[in-house]
Structure 1
Amino acid sequence: MRIALFEPEIAGNVGAILRLGACLGADVDLIEPMGFEWDDRRVRRAAMDYIDHVTITRHADFDAFRSAIGSRRLVLFTTKSTQSAYEFDFTADDVLLFGKESAGVPAAVADICDARIRIPLRPQVRSLNLATSAALALGEALRQTGTLPSV
């Protein structure tokens, strides 16, 4: 299982997701450009020493990322979907894609994804924080596929 971030804008979110990947055993793909410098201290502060326990791959752009993941299924998490993440059948080699905090992904990227799903929310709110969304999504995907780390 992999988490992919499309042009992330907030260093702290990336750091938190790197820590999530380290703790739950998911590799993290960062699709550039990012809205901050890679050596931003906020990334390391949020990831803490866990950053050394996650495999991070940076991609120059979406095309480079798409080439790198090959035929793996690309599952986009978006507020523009009606398919619930809790009614979706994940597979162990899925790539969970999340868009940039301010705008998600462009239509051209959404169109080539294999699936578009959402985390159900109350109607009076718009969206969750990126790191929170990634945690809920990865947890459900790992639960479904039986690949959660053992305690």
Structure 2
Amino acid sequence: MKICKEEKIIVYGLHPLIEAIKAKITISNIFLKSGIKLTSNAYKKLLFLSKKENIPIKTVPESKFFILKNKNHQGVFALLSPIRTYQIKDLLPVFYERGKNPILIILDRITDVRNFGSIIRTSACAGVNAIIIPKKETAMIGSDSIKTSSGALFKVPICQEKSIKNTINFLTKNGLKIVSATEKSNIYWYNIDFSSPTVLILGNEEKGVSPQYLEISDERVKIPLIGGISSLNVSVACGIILYEIFRQRESNLYI
């Protein structure tokens, strides 16, 4: 198990903090903006969980939120220890031992933190077992990705790998189907059988999936575009494909 290099992470916003507490992340203090009204259910839930886990809440002046200027902090933040990351070679045997039919995502040079966070959030909702990212050319695992994922970053294991190509080869040898999303394919995403263990590769916002990864993929799929726009947002494409996987697997339960 590896630790990312960021010394401390500021987590801001109600739902990310609630998810951090539920995930048993170490939090020394929660800082609450002076004068804020604690009337919503989310505030009440945060107060309940912090009391349950013996996390002190300190009321501080608005000046303490200067570092979060122009961010939707909702009057609350905390400092967390670095987010834990993993290697897929350690997690995959655990998934199989637990009887999982793994769904994994590889993010090939996704650099926009909003896309990164949205993909994590959708992955958590759709039952993805792990997300794999490279050590370089990727969005940072930090405050903004936690916020944009609405705290889902605490629910889905993130694996940082030195070589994505070697990782793909490892996953292929261990029985997973490699599916790349690319407009260069002639096959629509819903024509692929996703019933077996699957890896979905999503590419860079501008360049797409790297040619070297497309070459070693078992399948290449596309989503049709008829409105004159050249491509979908990568997080939207992720959701479309993941819920086709979900639909196929849920349908198989009743056959």
Same fold per superposition (TM over 0.5) = yes
Q: 1:102 aligns with which of 180, 201, 206?
A: 206
Amino acid at match of 2:140: E
Q: Deviations over 1:68-118 (max 9, x none)?
A: 423311000101111001222212411111111110122222111000010
Amino acid at match of 2:232: L
Q: Do the aligned residues in 1 keep the contact of 2:176 with 2:196 (CA within 8 Å)?
A: no
Aligned to 2:145: 43
Q: 2:164 aligns with which of 32, 48, 62?
A: 62
Measure the CA separation in 2 of the matches of 1:15 and 1:106: 21
Q: Do the aligned residues in 2 keep the contact of 1:44 with 1:51 (CA within 8 Å)?
A: yes
Q: Closer, same or farther in 2 for the Cα pair 1:43/1:80, shift >3 Å?
A: same
Aligned to 2:134: 31
How big is the alpha-carbon RMSD for the aligned residues of Structure 1 and Structure 2?
Answer: 2.0
Of all paired residues, the percent bearing the same amino acid is 25
TM-score, normalized by length of structure 1? Answer: 0.87
What secondary structure sits across from 1:140 in the alignment? helix
What secondary structure sits across from 1:58 in the alignment? strand
Measure the CA separation in 2 of the matches of 1:9 and 1:24: 22
Aligned to 2:183: 79
Q: Do the aligned residues in 1 keep the contact of 2:187 with 2:221 (CA within 8 Å)?
A: yes
Aligned to 2:104: 2
Residue 32 of structure 1 deviates from its aligned partner by 3.6
What secondary structure sits across from 1:86 in the alignment? helix
Measure the CA separation in 2 of the matches of 1:48 and 1:111: 35
Measure the CA separation in 2 of the matches of 1:88 and 1:23: 21
**With CA pairs under 8 Å and 6+ residues apart, which has the higher RCO, 1 or 2?**
1
Residue 19 of structure 1 deviates from its aligned partner by 1.0
Q: Do the aligned residues in 2 keep the contact of 1:15 with 1:45 (CA within 8 Å)?
A: yes
Amino acid at match of 1:45: K
Q: Closer, same or farther in 2 for the Cα pair 1:49/1:12, shift >3 Å?
A: same
Q: Do the aligned residues in 2 keep the contact of 1:91 with 1:145 (CA within 8 Å)?
A: yes
Residue 10 of structure 1 deviates from its aligned partner by 0.7
Q: Closer, same or farther in 2 for the Cα pair 1:82/1:33, shift >3 Å?
A: same
Measure the CA separation in 1 of the matches of 2:225 and 2:152: 30
- Higher mean Cα deviation, 76-85 or 42-51? 42-51
What secondary structure sits across from 1:48 in the alignment? coil
Gaps of 5+ in 2: 1-102
Measure the CA separation in 1 of the matches of 2:141 and 2:199: 22
Larger Rg: 2
Measure the CA separation in 1 of the matches of 2:170 and 2:113: 23
